[in-house]
Amino acid sequence: MNRDTVKREVFVEDKKTKEVAEGLAGAGPRFLVSSSPHVREGVEIRDIMRLVIIALLPATLFSIYLFGVRALLTIAISVGSAVLFEAVWQKAVRKPVMIGNLSAALTGLLLALNLPSASPWWMICIGSLFAIVIAKQLYGGIGYNIFNPALVGRVVLLIAFPVQMTAKWLTPSAWGMNAVTTATPLGRVREALLTNGRIDVHLTRQEVLDLLIGNRAGSLGEVSVILLLIGGVFLIAKKIITWHIPVSFIASVWVLAGVFHLVNPARYADPSFHVITGGLFLGAFFMATDYVTSPIRPVGKLIFGVGCGAITVVIRLFGAYPEGVSFAILLMNAVTPLIDRYTRAAVFGARKVKATAA
């Protein structure tokens, strides 16, 4: 559609209307006139973004504790460059600079949490450039992007720099001391399957505990299942997100991986292993629930979550990559408008509404 036909009504008193009003001084009192309602709750976009950032803080701080200064640097570079790219772009195309709504900062933080702790600074910048400029601003900025910006940034890096993105994992150790390069749990399973034709996953209690707490290799923010869960529950309690996407996403991963495990336990790992490894919790609570790129109604959210879960399992078990959460969410982002169209509620007082192609 032609953007020129997009008409925007602006209701704030801008400078011009103020001047006009002052020019009419003496014509009696003047009042603001606009359509109802005349009061607002007062929740702004930045309030929502701030709460999501707060919800990510436990996992973020823990990643700094685990991976040390490098993690802190990665986060700082990612957030800083994301905010900078957004500001520079908006200045360049003469749009209002909207970094104050914290959306770019959140994208930068999410990107950082999706990166290995040993990421070089230039790679982080390329990731946030793609996230902010290509995936978000070129589509029209906040509200108009089709794909989750942070995930676009991550996947671009994954494809362009596979070595840095998949082979340079560090084992956590307090403050990043004595870290050695290793593979992620999902990577180890993949490795074993390729070399031996069978997996070797026998989770001991200690291993499960390590996975839950985050004592393992992985992206910065994905390692601690418990802290991510705390953040996610906080967001649900604050009514920033609903339970539909995370629960259906995680549950469908467990069920589907469970079916394969029952069929052939030698090739397919225990479903609980799939649930607590990789980026599932980070993805399910913080990436798949992105407002702009996920369905708006509960039924649509459930379909979206199940789709994410199914694609994740298929990629993990049969794909070329050990992890599939990012790809799964991006693929479901693409069908979100379709899901929304076919999950419309019947208006109050109507029996049923036929989905009409809009």
Partner 1 sequence: MAGGKFFGGIHPKYHKELASAQSIEQMPLPERLIVHFAQNLGAAPKPVVKKGDAVRKGQVIAEPQGFVSVPLHAPTSGSVQAIDLFPHPVGADMPAAVIVPDGKDEWAPGLNAPRNADGFDAEKIKGIIRDAGLVGMGGAAFPTHVKLSPPKEKPIDLLIVNGAECEPYLASDHRLMIERPAEILEGASLFARALGVQQVIVAIEKNKPEAIEAIRSAIVERRGYSLRALDVVYPQGAERQLIFALTGRRVPAGGLPMDVGVLVQNVGTAFAAYEAVHFGRPLIERVVCVTGRGIARPKNIVAKIGTTFNDAIAFCGGQRGESGKVISGGPMMGVAQYSLEAPITKGTSGIVLLTREEVAQFVSDPCIRCGRCVRVCPMLLNPSALSIFVERLRFDDAEAYHVIDCIECGCCAYVCPSRRPMVHHFRRAKAEIRSKAAKAS
Contact residues: partner 1, CB under 8 A: 1, 5-13, 28-41, 43-45, 47-48, 140-144, 291-292, 296-297, 340, 344-350, 353, 356, 358
Distance, CA of 178 to CA of 200 (rounded, Å):
27
For the chain, how many residues are written? Answer: 358
> For residues 14 and 206, is the Cβ–Cβ distance under 8 A?
no
By three-state DSSP, how is residue 169 classified? strand
Output the smallest distance, CB 332 to partner 1, in A: 15
* Residue among 180 and 350 whose Cβ is closer to partner 1: 350
* Residue among 8 and 202 whose Cβ is closer to partner 1: 8
Output the smallest distance, CB 309 to partner 1, in A: 21
* Residue among 20 and 266 whose Cβ is closer to partner 1: 20
H/E element, 250: helix 244-263
Output the smallest distance, CB 72 to partner 1, in A: 29
Output the smallest distance, CB 182 to partner 1, in A: 39
Residue tagged 């109802």 (tokens): 36
Distance, CA of 358 to CA of 236 (rounded, Å):
32
Which token pair is 77? 């570079």
* Residue among 53 and 76 whose Cβ is closer to partner 1: 53
Which token pair is 16? 């011009």
> For residues 124 and 77, is the Cβ–Cβ distance under 8 A?
yes
Output the smallest distance, CB 222 to partner 1, in A: 25
Task: List the beta strands (DSSP E) in 186-310.
Answer: none
Residue tagged 């199914």 (tokens): 310
Phi, psi of 182 (to 5 degrees): -150, -175
Closest by alpha carbon to 293, among 324, 335, 326?
335
Collect all residues with Cβ–Cβ distance below 8 Å to 121 and sequence separation of at least 6: 73, 77
Output the smallest distance, CB 94 to partner 1, in A: 17
* Residue among 1 and 320 whose Cβ is closer to partner 1: 1
Output the smallest distance, CB 75 to partner 1, in A: 24
* Residue among 136 and 316 whose Cβ is closer to partner 1: 136
From residue 114, give the alpha-carbon distance in Å to each of 257, 281, 310. 23, 12, 21
In one letter, which amino acid is 213?
Answer: I
Output the smallest distance, CB 13 to partner 1, in A: 7
By three-state DSSP, how is residue 285 classified? helix
* Residue among 143 and 265 whose Cβ is closer to partner 1: 143
* Residue among 23 and 29 whose Cβ is closer to partner 1: 29
Provide the β-strand partners of residue 182: 169
